[in-house]
Structure 1
């Protein structure tokens, strides 16, 4: 009987010592990086000029519309990756909505974005298509950081040397941020 009271706690303690505690991260802490596949985020941006008939022949206005579409694509890319801050206010008087305003705010760095295509449509709209590969290291960082700290603590890493041809290589690069 005494032997049973000694062996049972000893057996329970040895089994508890073998059980993993907390979340299992693997040997080097980068197990999540190897399990996740890269995600390619693709967005488009739009820009136009005022008078399609008159401005189509004006090279300066066409270039400005093209640039506007490119900047809109960058903004859309940042919104998809890091999100948007929205400020709003409403004024109600006698249970009737009098004024309703919203303002959005996007402030971030983006690097490694690729310009896929720029198309000019017949109605005078320029469309710029961009894509960005979200690598497993970025996704793993986002998974373990609070939403309010993602922008500061999880910068989009440069593609590694073994990534697809044409990506920016991190070898010998001094600057941290890139815009194409």
Structure 2
């Protein structure tokens, strides 16, 4: 009986020691792999700007400013497609009658890798810029900075 009790105590002591230090003994090695989408869309955007409304001393300066403005408008449209558009609305009622109503929209983001497809005047007073954005190139640029990954394999030692 004494030997049996001694064996049980020894077994319990070993179990407690292994339980306390067992978590620290096991180590692991995790391998990651990058996740790549199946398809990559190409986004397109068109920006417009009036020529005669631009500030400038001559028609050529106004035309150049319209070129820049239409390019910025096209970039804004690309940013809307990539990041979405933030909308904020406000409505004021007094005695259940609408007194004022406002709606604001904004977009914010970084567009990398866009290319100008075409830039041309339309009619006498409008300038148009067409942009394209290959999402494969955006993904490649993203991989160089973010290094997205998922667990490929976990090895326990």
TM-score normalised by structure 2 residue count: 0.61
Q: Name the structure 1 match of 2:26.
A: none
Higher strand share: 2
Q: Name the structure 2 match of 1:89.
A: 90
Moved over 4 A (4+): none
CA RMSD, Structure 1 to Structure 2 (Å): 3.1
Q: Is the 8 A contact 2:112 2:138 kept in 1?
A: no
* Selected match of 1:43 from 42, 45, 48: 45
Can you give the 5+ residue segments of structure 1 that lack an aligned partner in the other structure?
1-26, 139-156, 161-169, 171-180
Q: Mark the CA change 1:51 to 1:84 in structure 2 (over 3 Å): closer, same or farther.
A: closer
For the pair 1:158 / 2:122, whether they are aligned, the reply is: no
Q: Name the structure 2 match of 1:165.
A: none
Aligned residues between the structures? 113
TM-score normalised by structure 1 residue count: 0.54
Can you give the 5+ residue segments of structure 2 that lack an aligned partner in the other structure?
1-30, 145-157
Q: Name the structure 1 match of 2:77.
A: 76
**Larger RCO (CA within 8 A; separation ≥ 6):** 2
Task: Give the number of the structure whose alpha-carbon radius of gyration is greater.
Answer: 2
Give the drift of 1:29: 4.0
Once residues 130 and 61 of structure 1 are traced to their aligned partners in structure 2, the CA distance between those partners, rounded to angstroms, is: 21
Once residues 126 and 70 of structure 1 are traced to their aligned partners in structure 2, the CA distance between those partners, rounded to angstroms, is: 9
Give the drift of 1:133: 1.0
